[in-house]
Structure 1
Amino acid sequence: MKAFQNLLYIILISLIVSSCNSETEKNFTLNGSVKGLKKGVVYLQKEDGTSIVDLDSVVIKGTSDFTLKTNIDEPILLYLKLHKNDGQEHFIPFFADKGITEIKTTLKRFTSDAKITGSEQQVLLEEYLKLMSDFNDSNLDLIKANFEAAKRNDTITSDSLAKRSNRLLKLKYASTINFALNHGDSEVAPYLALYEAPNASVKYLDSIYNNLTDKVKQSYYGKTLGKALNDFKKAQDSIK
């Protein structure tokens, strides 16, 4: 009887230790550094439906280095948020995968100075963002020119600039679609379709989805894109 009780005790202790280990071990670590930051709070966040939820947080007091941890099932976009009591919220979006990601930035230009080392999806996302930077610069030039034309009440120039802006937007969408089609083996492809080209023609979004590998189709963004396309097709069928 005593031997049986001892056995139960050993099993119970093993279960407790195993439970504690499962709670403390995380499969994703973010090591960060914000040059110039002496006081504030940093958060690791993710999108959950229509809201943003906190996964981990650290209060910064006197040191600019920090570590945040969580568990993730697959590659997904996360956010590093900084709250520094200035009435504003500062975010750095990045594609995370299991393992370690490092983000180094500055307090002065928290988002724009961010240097991110981590997942292969992040490398691909940065390649896309670099491609888009030229479009964004051109769009800013058009906005500035249109503002000047409006001050002069120059409607002819404003109309011309509006047409150029529309052509630029179409070209940006076309480049996004082409980029996604060329990277159907990455979770970045359905992410771009959902968040960077949501107003593109359904036939192009459908092409992106059909070009995804089976593995990516089963990812969070792959499933979300597939559901969005199915919902649209059902809505179209219902009004025929």
Structure 2
Amino acid sequence: MKKIITLLVLSILINACSSKKQGNMIVQGQIKGLKKGTLYLQKMKDTLLVSVDSIKLLGSDKFTLTDHIESPVLYYLTFDGNTTDKRILFFGEQGAITINDNVEKFGYTPEITGSKNQELLDKYTKVKKKFQNQRLEFVKKDFDAKKANDMDLVTQLEKDYLKLAKKRILYTTNFAITNADNEVAPYIALTEMYDASLKMLDTVNNSLSAKVKNSVYGKSFQEYINKIKVTEKQ
């Protein structure tokens, strides 16, 4: 009888240790070519990057990771914990998110579905890259003009660049306002509206839904605006 009880207790303990806590966000997918290694699901906690789940892949390149999420935030999917060379950055939120990639180009062009905020962030990033490319063209033209001592062209390029910068800010502001019911809005405002006026920042903040205002990035955005207002009063 004692042996039976002991076996039952051991069985319960083993099951308890081996069972994986299921969160309200499931991250699943396939990393083609990854037959051996460890994938980590990580996120920022205060100022530290912490692992919330991990899985060792031995012979299979498919994975499932999970976390309990209260507010959509950015996550890292890293290979062997390396967040510098090999990582996939994505917007995590409740539900099932599918990430497909390959080990050779891990993190460069992953396919991510199931996250509305990620979908919006990808949409914004495409336009952002166009602005970045135009900026690089201005830098080259400015360098060539100064080298040729063509000051009239330098002056004109400076005016055109200011117009481009204003256009980028207006696009970013409108994008955030249009998507004010998604947590990506305050995130983009925090990371991309660094040269925007306080009036524009306030306009975006006032457009956010109550749900988004109460999110991680919504609260951070409010704190950011409050600091600017305090600084301007000094």
**Pairwise same-fold verdict (TM > 0.5):** yes
TM-score, normalised with respect to structure 1: 0.77
Q: 1:80 aligns with which of 77, 81, 85?
A: 77
C-alpha displacement at 1:198, in angstroms?
2.4
Of residues 137, 142, 147, the one that matches 1:153 is 147
Q: Deviations over 1:60-88 (max 9, x none)?
A: 33332211111111222212122488x95
| CA distance in 2 between partners of 1:36 and 1:146 (Å) | 45
**Partner deviation per Cα, 1:16-46 (whole Å, 9 max, x = no partner):** 9xx99x9723111111322222333322111
Note the 1:1-240 alignment, pairs <5 A: 24-83=21-80, 88-143=84-139, 149=144, 153-156=147-150, 164-237=160-233, 239=234
CA drift at 1:145 = 5.2
Distance 1:23 1:106 in 2: 26
Work out whether residues 121 and 186 of structure 1, in 8 Å CA contact, stay in contact via their aligned partners in 2: yes
- Partner Cα distance (2:81, 2:75) in 1: 20
Could you say what secondary structure the match of 1:190 adopts?
A: helix
CA distance in 1 between partners of 2:21 and 2:49 (Å): 23
What SS is found at the alignment partner of 2:193?
coil
Q: What TM-score does the superposition give when structure 2 sets the normalisation length?
A: 0.78
Equivalent position SS for 1:185: coil
Q: Displacement of 1:123 after TM fit?
A: 1.9
Q: Gaps spanning 5+ residues in structure 2: where?
A: 1-12
| Alignment coverage as a number of residue pairs | 218
Give the superposition deviation at 1:235. Answer: 2.9
- The change in CA–CA distance for 1:65 and 1:158 in structure 2 (over 3 A counts) is farther
8 A Cα contact 2:26 2:97, kept in partner:
yes
Amino acid at match of 2:90: F
Two-structure CA RMSD over aligned residues (Å): 3.1
Gaps of 5+ in 1: 1-15
After superposition, the Cα gap between the structure-2 partners of 1:218 and 1:129, relative to the gap in structure 1 and judged at 3 Å, is same
Partner-residue secondary structure (3-state), 1:24? coil
**Shift in alpha-carbon separation, 1:25–1:136, aligned structure 2, 3 A:** same
Judging changes above 3 Å, is the alpha-carbon distance between structure 1 residues 142 and 118 closer, same or farther for their aligned structure 2 residues? same
Give yes or no for contact 1:36–1:106 (8 Å, CA) kept in 2.
Answer: yes
Once residues 94 and 231 of structure 2 are traced to their aligned partners in structure 1, the CA distance between those partners, rounded to angstroms, is: 37
User: SS in structure 2 opposite 1:44?
Assistant: strand
Q: Secondary structure at the match of 2:147?
A: coil
**Pair 1:205–1:35, CA change in 2 (3 A):** same
Say if 1:81 and 1:89, in contact at 8 Å, map to a contact too. Answer: no
CA gap 1:155/1:170 in 2 versus in 1, 3 angstroms:
farther
| SS of corresponding position for 2:208 | coil
